[in-house]
Structure 1
Amino acid sequence: MFWIEFAVLLVMILIGSRMKGIGLGVMGIFGLVIFVFAFHMKPSNPPLDVMLIIIAIVTTAATLQASGGLDYLVSLAEKVIRSNPSNVTFIAPFATYVLCLFAGTSHIVYSILPIISEVATKKRIRPERPLSASVIASHLALTGSPISACTAALVVLLGYPGALFDVMMISIPAGLLGTLAACFVVRKKGLELNEDPLFLEKMKNPEFAKTIDTSSESSGNKVKAGAKTSVMIFSIAILLIVVAGAFPDVLPNFGPGQEDLVVKSDGTVSMVTVICLITLAASAAMMLITKTSAVTVTQVSLFSSMASATISVFGVVWMASTFMENNSEVIKESLGSIVNAHPWTFAIALFALGIIMFSQAATVKTLIPLGIALGLSPLVLIASFPTVNSFYVLPGYPTLLAAINFDRTGSTKIGKYVVNHSFNRPGFASTIVAVSVGFLLGFLIL
């Protein structure tokens, strides 16, 4: 029966991931219906904590976008990339990493990918190199960002004082070195642009050649009046979350009692509550101080993506956690001895699940509780964290597709066999290095 139920789980995830948008969420609920009514499995609690975190964080990021703060950050990153075009393969991924680390979302990369492609093409550097490494860096940044949904979900599940600080202390250096590894493995990848037959053929078209060779400076978009102020408010919110996570004693204590979503059993406010209160309060401050319309916030692209992310996590995590809870004994018996003898193998399990989940937060919420139940230490869980970015293996994620579309030279592509695409080499290199560095730092820090 276990394998039949597991097959249903995989089929629902695979169909949902191909549907895109909210497909993963609705197929997750469809799978849950099968579990409950066909297999008589008791449904687990829905992932309300992750859903609340996503709603709060994305709303705040959307407010930053509506007030011009994201455009201001992108303009700073653009200046850095254009300042040294010859080294775009190294500079662009690190600029992207820092940008996404601060913003807490990889979707901001859409604004900077055309710039990376243009700078590389004009210097006749194969755009595939900086584009592929930058996309991988944008994902890797989230597994260290204090304002990302996946990091917040991991911190909530770890549940001990100072968990956020430990995650950042390990994941950020690991992510930076992982980004460096991605840059190194692509620095000589493929033919040089002036030797690429596809590019040379395209250059025979006068119109195409003109667009490539035309001199272009910075986009020069005007920064809104309150953009810098909104970035400052957003920065303060991030700082407050980090302080609250590192020093839980500063939080109000309401005395011991029953633990719930808002207050822990020792009476301290939960990290879910802290994140929601601080981020949404920051959103309100940005609206009031920068005079950003609340209606405008609901119309920006980031806010629109929140519904898709929330529904996806709601459906697929609820289905997966129901499967896990009802088969916990079988799973523990099967994996327990292997994982306890070789803790690093848990990273492989996270990596495999991340490929089909297409969501870092959903992967964390689904499998990290199993790791905790198996008795794995925080060191193992945090060091394995970067593997949740493995959805680059199947090139269907929007950031990968955007990079392919922005590369007018055609060097960034999906191969004949689908998996032989531009992102796997930097993806695997960055994951292996980030996890290895994470384990090393974990032994030193924890």
Structure 2
Amino acid sequence: MLWLEVIVVLGAIYFGARLGSIGIGYAGGIGILVLTLGMGLKLGSIPIDVILIIMSVIAAIGAMQVAGGLDYMVSIAEKILRKNPKQIVFLAPIVTYIMTFFAGTGHTAFSTLPVIAEVAKEQGIRPSRPLSIAVVASQIAITASPISAAVVFLSGVLEPLGVGYLEILAVCIPSSFLACMVAALVSGFLGKPLKDDPVYQERLAKGLIKMRGETKLEIKPGAKLSVGIFLFAILAVVTYATMISGKVGLIENPVVGRDSAIMLFMLTAAALIAFFTKIDSAQVLNSSTFKSGMSACICVLGVAWLGSTFVVNHIDAIKVFAGDLLNHYPWMLAVVLFFASTLLYSQAATAKALIPAAIALGVAPVSIVASFAAVSALFVLPTYPTLIAAVEMDDTGSTRIGKFVFNHPFIIPGVIAIALSVAFAFVIGGLIL
């Protein structure tokens, strides 16, 4: 029966991948239905906390987007990229990393990808080089963002083990950023020079390549204010989390816990943005970030619930099979998280599904934190939204998916970035934790 249950889980994930986007969440529901009502398994826990955090953060980001805040951030990013065009391979991942770090979602990269592609093309640089590492950086930065659902969940389950929110950030921020920069260095040498690429030459001859020039974004009057309010809310989250931390202890027995505080601060930020910038709140529902965020909620609901249902029914068998292996080779947890995230399409869903099992197996907290970056292997299958967008926005054809599916320009920088992030985190974590 165990193997049949594994087939059901993998089959649901495969079916969801075929449906695409929010479909993986739908398919997760089918898998749970078969495992519980069909095969008699005990129902796993619903990832309510993760979903609520995503919803509240996206509510604030959606308000900021309607107020023009994202356009303002993109205009700043474009100025940085165009001021130093020769360094586009390094600046592109820095820009997407920072935007994801502050927003808590990698979908903010959508707005910067066209700029990255254009600047690279204008400089005769193969666009696949900056685009590939920019997409990867936007995914890995989730594991360093103070308001991402994945980080908040990890800190929640590790806090009873003596590892706090700030300690996780102290390990994950430098390790992930340094790893992305090394991967960017490697990306600068991947693929043929643009002028020698036959696909580019063919598209150039057919007149399919256009130079759009600098984008003229109309910055709304309340754009800067909306960004300021959002950034202040993030600062408030980190400050409050520090004050209620058991190791700092400025506030004992807090009335509001950290997870609830994040939701409250984000909803308050959304309300302040809506009030002071005088936006039509109804427009938030139609914003691209709000739609992608709500899609992420459904995906986490279906997939993480599916993973929890399977794990909770087989935790004893998993302990016997994997306990000794992970205790002797703790880095193997990173391998497990890597391959799981390629199927689950969500850092939060992967963490929610597997981190509790790792804790139950007795894996050391430092190994869990160090392996955390591996939940960001969303680039392996060329179906993730930001990856697809990067391919579509590069009219030179250099950012293309090979006929063997996995031979695309995101694989090498992505694997390098995650491997190095895990390695750096083991070193930094050994010093801090």
In the alignment, is residue 442 of structure 1 matched against residue 429 of structure 2? Answer: yes
Distance 2:163 2:309 in 1: 29
The Cα offsets for residues 206-254 of structure 1, whole Å up to 9 and x where unpaired, read as: x446x23x7x23x22121111111111111111111122223145573x
What SS does structure 1 have at the residue aligned with 2:378? helix
Q: Is the 8 A contact 1:252 1:269 kept in 2?
A: no
Structure 2 counterpart of 1:407: 394
Structure 1 counterpart of 2:270: 283
Q: Is the 8 A contact 1:150 1:364 kept in 2?
A: yes
TM-align CA RMSD: 1.5
Q: Kindly state the Cα deviation for residue 81 of structure 1 after the two structures are TM-superposed.
A: 0.5
Q: Is the 8 A contact 1:251 1:269 kept in 2?
A: no
Structure 2 counterpart of 1:200: 201
Aligned residues: 428
Correspondence 1:353-432 to 2 at 5 A: 353-432=340-419
What SS does structure 1 have at the residue aligned with 2:24? helix
Q: Could you tell me which of 219, 226, 233 is aligned with 2:229? A: 233
Counterpart of 1:234, as a letter, is F
The Cα offsets for residues 107-164 of structure 1, whole Å up to 9 and x where unpaired, read as: 1111111111111111111111001011101111111011222212222222347722
What SS does structure 1 have at the residue aligned with 2:431? helix
Distance 1:307 1:91 in 2: 30
In the alignment, is residue 104 of structure 1 matched against residue 100 of structure 2? Answer: no
Distance 2:302 2:128 in 1: 35
Structure 1 counterpart of 2:240: 244
Distance 1:48 1:104 in 2: 18
Distance 1:21 1:196 in 2: 32
Q: Could you tell me which of 311, 324, 343 is aligned with 1:337? A: 324
Q: 1:386 to 1:233 in 2, by over 3 A?
A: same
Structure 2 counterpart of 1:295: 282
Q: Is the 8 A contact 1:343 1:380 kept in 2?
A: yes
The Cα offsets for residues 47-77 of structure 1, whole Å up to 9 and x where unpaired, read as: 1111111111111111111111111111111
What SS does structure 2 have at the residue aligned with 1:247? helix
Structure 2 counterpart of 1:29: 29
Structure 1 counterpart of 2:66: 66
Normalising by the residue count of structure 1, what TM-score does the alignment of the two structures yield?
0.93
The Cα offsets for residues 177-232 of structure 1, whole Å up to 9 and x where unpaired, read as: 11112212211111111111221222223x446x23x7x23x22121111111111
Distance 1:64 1:320 in 2: 33
Distance 2:250 2:10 in 1: 44
Distance 2:283 2:21 in 1: 22
In the alignment, is residue 188 of structure 1 matched against residue 189 of structure 2? Answer: yes
What SS does structure 2 have at the residue aligned with 1:392? coil
Distance 1:116 1:358 in 2: 24
Structure 2 counterpart of 1:55: 55
Structure 2 counterpart of 1:259: none
Q: 1:252 to 1:228 in 2, by over 3 A?
A: farther
Distance 2:364 2:238 in 1: 22
The Cα offsets for residues 75-125 of structure 1, whole Å up to 9 and x where unpaired, read as: 111111101111211111112211221121111111111111111111111
Distance 1:171 1:284 in 2: 31
Distance 1:232 1:181 in 2: 31
Q: Is the 8 A contact 1:252 1:268 kept in 2?
A: no
Q: Kindly state the Cα deviation for residue 344 of structure 1 after the two structures are TM-superposed.
A: 1.3
Distance 2:140 2:269 in 1: 25
What SS does structure 2 have at the residue aligned with 1:36? helix
Correspondence 1:135-150 to 2 at 5 A: 135-150=135-150
Distance 1:373 1:421 in 2: 37
Report which stretch shifted further, 151-160 or 433-442.
151-160
Q: Kindly state the Cα deviation for residue 423 of structure 1 after the two structures are TM-superposed.
A: 0.3
Counterpart of 2:272, as a letter, is A
Distance 1:325 1:369 in 2: 10
What SS does structure 2 have at the residue aligned with 1:410? coil
Counterpart of 1:336, as a letter, is G
Correspondence 1:164-179 to 2 at 5 A: 164-179=165-180
Structure 2 counterpart of 1:14: 14
Normalising by the residue count of structure 2, what TM-score does the alignment of the two structures yield?
0.95
Counterpart of 2:417, as a letter, is S
Q: Kindly state the Cα deviation for residue 417 of structure 1 after the two structures are TM-superposed.
A: 0.6
Q: Kindly state the Cα deviation for residue 441 of structure 1 after the two structures are TM-superposed.
A: 0.4
In the alignment, is residue 310 of structure 1 matched against residue 311 of structure 2? Answer: no
Q: Which runs of 5+ in 1 are unaligned?
A: 254-266
Q: Is the 8 A contact 1:383 1:438 kept in 2?
A: yes
Correspondence 1:74-85 to 2 at 5 A: 74-85=74-85
Counterpart of 2:330, as a letter, is P
State the identity %.
Answer: 40
Counterpart of 2:315, as a letter, is S
Report which stretch shifted further, 288-297 or 324-333.
288-297
Q: Kindly state the Cα deviation for residue 377 of structure 1 after the two structures are TM-superposed.
A: 2.5
Q: Is the 8 A contact 2:58 2:290 kept in 1?
A: yes
Distance 1:275 1:377 in 2: 27
Q: Kindly state the Cα deviation for residue 283 of structure 1 after the two structures are TM-superposed.
A: 0.9
